[in-house]
Amino acid sequence: MKRRSTTTTPRPTRLSPADLLRLGLLGPRTRRLRSALSALGISLGIAAAVAVTGISSSNQAHLLERLDRLGSNVITVGPGKDADQKKVPLPPEAEKMLANITPVQRVTATGDTTAHVYRSDLVPTELNGSIAVEAARLNLPDVLHARLRSGRWLDTASQHLPVTVLGDQAAGRLGVSAPGRKVWLGGQWYAVIGILEPNELIPDLDTSALVGWPQATAHLGADGTASAVYVQAHPERVDVVQSVAGATANPAHPTDVAVTRPSDLLKARTETRNTMTGLVLTLAAVALLVGGVGIANTMVVGVMERRGEIGLRRALGARSGQVAAQFLIEAVLLGFGGGLAGAAGGALTVYTYAAAQGWPASVPLYTLAAGPLTAVLVATAAGIYPALRAARMPPTTALRAA
C-alpha cells in the first residue's frame, strides 16, 4: 500500500494592505529631505491651481454682489442708427410701450437738451467741460440705484424749477463741492440741490447735470422724447425682455433701436480675468508636470540606491508585484502629501488675498477635492516606470550590484 506524500508546496506570501503601506512609507521616512523636495513640486502646482481658481471665484462673487447691488437686471434702450449711420430717435411713446412688457418692473428715462452748463456766466461757451444737460424722470435713482453723496433728488415741485442735480465728475469739473451753489445753465442761474455718487452701472450720469423733465421741456430745448430708456426687468426674465425691447420701443423700425445691458460691461471684465486665469492654470499644469518629473527622478534614484534591499527581498521570497507595489505606493504617498499641502496652501492664499481686497472668500470645494486627487494621478504616472524597473530587477544582479 502506497503512502501518500505529506509534502505540500508552500503558498506564496501575501502582504496585507497595512504591510504594503509600511513598506511604502519606508522611503519617505529614511530620505525625508529628498522626499519633501519631490513633493514640493507637486505641492506648488496644486497650490497655484487652487489659489487661481479660488481668487477667480472670489472675484466673481464680488462682481456678482456688485451687480446685484447696482442692478444687473437693467436694460438700456436708446436711439440706433439707420443704413446711413444717422441716429434714429425713439418714438415719444417708447417709454409707455416698454412699461407694458409683462416682466418689466419699472421704467425711467433721460432726455437730451440743447443747453450747456458752466461754472459762471463769465466762462467762454466753448469751455463746457463735456458736461451734458439731461432731463430726468423722478424715479431715476430708484431704477438705476443712484445714490446721493449730498443733498436731495428732484421731486414733484422742484422738477418745474431752475434746479439741478450734478453727477460726481460734473460737480468736480464745475467746482461744486456741496449743494447750495449755483451754476450757469441754459443762460440762467440754476441752484445745485444734490450731488450723486459715482455710478458704475451708468457712467454717463457721472458727467451729467440733471434737471426736471418739465423744466427741460419748457426752457432748455428738450423735445420731450427720451434719449435713453432704462428698463428694470424681473431678474429671471432679463434676456426675454432684452430680445423684445427693440421691437416694442419702435415697432416700425425695430432694427434702428440700440438695446444694451450695462452690466454686460462688467461681465466682459470678468471674461478678461478668466482669460488670465486660464493662462495661470496652464502655468500650474506645467508646475504639476515638473513636480511629476521630480517624483519620477527621485524614485529612479531611490531604486538605484536600494538595489541591495530589492535583491535581499527578492531572495527572501518577495514577488516582483510586491516590489512594484512598494515603490508605486511610495510615489502615491509623495503625491498625496504634496497635494494636501498644496490644497491647504492655495486655500490659505485665497482667504488672505480676499481679506486684503475686501472680497467674500470663495474656494470651490471641487478644487480642494480635485487637488490631492490630481496630485495622486500625476504621482502614480510618474512612479510606474521606477516601480516596474525595481520589479524586473533580478535578485542576483541586485545583490551583486549592492
Q: Residue 284 has what pLDDT? A: 65
Q: Residue 197 has what pLDDT? A: 95
Torsion of CA 27, 30, 31, 32, to 10 degrees: 110
Q: Residue 401 has what pLDDT? A: 56
Q: Residue 7 has what pLDDT? A: 53
User: What is the band of 54 on the pLDDT scale with cuts at 50, 70, 90?
Assistant: confident
pLDDT in tens, 10-48: 555 566 777 777 767 777 777 777 778 777 877 888 888
Q: Are strands 188-196 and 163-166 parallel, antiparallel or unpaired?
A: parallel
CA–CA separation, 260 vs 346, rounded Å?
Answer: 38
pLDDT in tens, 62-89: 776 766 666 668 889 999 988 788 888 9
Q: Is the pLDDT of residue 270 over 60?
A: no
- Orientation of helix 307-315 relative to helix 320-357, angle to 10°: 140
Q: Is the pLDDT of residue 231 over 70?
A: yes
Q: Residue 33 has what pLDDT? A: 79
User: What is the band of 283 on the pLDDT scale with cuts at 50, 70, 90?
Assistant: low
Question: How many other CB atoms sit within 10 Å of the CB of residue 208?
Answer: 25
Closest CA to 213 of 174, 170, 161: 161
Lowest mean pLDDT among 125-134, 205-214, 294-303: 294-303
The per-residue pLDDT of the chain, averaged, comes to 83
Q: Residue 236 has what pLDDT? A: 79
CA–CA separation, 132 vs 325, rounded Å?
Answer: 76
CA–CA separation, 171 vs 69, rounded Å?
Answer: 24
Q: Residue 68 has what pLDDT? A: 61
Q: Residue 10 has what pLDDT? A: 52
Domain boundaries, the chain: 17-66+268-401, 91-249
Maximum mean pLDDT: which of 86-95, 132-141, 271-280, 286-295: 132-141
Q: Residue 166 has what pLDDT? A: 97
Q: Residue 112 has what pLDDT? A: 95
